[in-house]
Structure 1
Amino acid sequence: MNPNRAEGVLLGLACGDALGRPVEFDSPEQIADEHGTLTDMVGFGTWNQPAGTLTDDTEQALCIASSVAEHGSFDPADVAERFRTWYESEPFDVGVMTRRSLEALDRGAAWDEAGQSVWEDSPEGQNAGNGSVMRCPPLTIPLRNEPERLVEASKQSSQITHADPRCTWGCAALNLTIAGYLTDREAPLQWALDRIRSDAPDELVDALDPIAAGETPDSLSTSGYVVDTLQTALHDAIAADSASDAIVTAVNRGGDADTIGAVAGAVAGARFGAVDLDREWLVAIDETEAMRSLAIALV
Structure 2
Amino acid sequence: MAHAPQPRLDTWATDRAAGVLLGAAVGDALGVPYEFQATLRDDQQPRMIGGGLGPYAPGEYSDDTQMQVCIAKVAADGADLRTPETLDAIATNFQGWLSGGASDVGSQTRAVLGAAGSAPGEPGAAMLAAARSFTAGNDRSAGNGSLMRTGVVAL
TM beyond 0.5: yes
| Mapping 1:142-157, distance limit 5 Å | none
Query: 1:42 matched to which residue of 2?
Result: 49
Report the count of equivalent residues: 135
Shift of 1:5: 2.3
Q: Is the 8 A contact 1:61 1:136 kept in 2?
A: yes
1:103-137 residue CA offsets vs partner (Å, 9 max, x unmatched): 01111151321101111111x2x210112101111
Provide Cα deviations, 1:186-211, integer angstroms capped at 9, x if missing partner.
Answer: xxxxxxxxxxxxxxxxxxxxxxxxxx
Over 3 Å counting, the alpha-carbon distance change for 1:44 and 1:96 in structure 2 is closer
* Structure 1 residues 23-54: Cα deviation after superposition (integer angstroms, max 9, x where no partner): 212101xx339x8111x422335534211111
> Can you list the C-alpha shifts for 1:198-231, whole angstroms capped at 9, x where unaligned?
xxxxxxxxxxxxxxxxxxxxxxxxxxxxxxxxxx
Q: Which residue of 1 aligns with 2:18?
A: 7
2:136, 2:150 → 1: CA distance?
22
In structure 2, list runs of 5 or more residues that go unmatched.
1-11, 121-125
Structure 1 residues 60, 23: CA separation in 2 closer, same or farther (over 3 Å shift)? same
Where 1:27 maps in the other structure, the secondary structure is coil
- Alpha-carbon distance in 1 for matches of 2:146, 2:78: 21
Matched position secondary structure for 1:43: coil
**2:149 paired with 1:138:** no
Following superposition of structure 1 onto structure 2, how do residues 70-85 of structure 1 map, counting pairs within 5 Å? 70=77, 72-74=79-81, 75-85=86-96
Residue number in structure 2 paired with 1:120 = 136
Q: Does 1:60 align with 2:74?
A: no
In the alignment, the residues of structure 2 paired with residue 2 and residue 81 of structure 1 have an alpha-carbon distance, to the nearest angstrom, of 27
Letter of the 1:27 counterpart: A
CA distance in 1, matches of 2:116, 2:80: 22
Percent identity between the aligned chains?
36
Equivalent residue, structure 2, for 1:180: none
Which residue number in structure 2 is paired with residue 32 of structure 1? Answer: 41
CA contact (8 A) 1:23 1:46 kept: no
Map of 1:284 onto structure 2: none
What is the correspondence of 1:80-99 to structure 2 with a 5 Å cutoff?
Answer: 80-99=91-110
Q: Could you tell me how far 1:4 is from its partner in structure 2?
A: 3.9
Are the equivalent residues in 2 in contact too, given 1:80–1:111 (CA < 8 A)? yes
Corresponding residue for residue 123 of structure 2: none
In 2: Cα distance, 1:111 partner to 1:71 partner = 22
In 2, the alpha carbon distance for the partners of 1:70 and 1:89 equals: 23
RMSD value over aligned CA atoms? 2.1
Greater share of helix: 1
Task: Letter of the 1:73 partner, please give it.
Answer: D
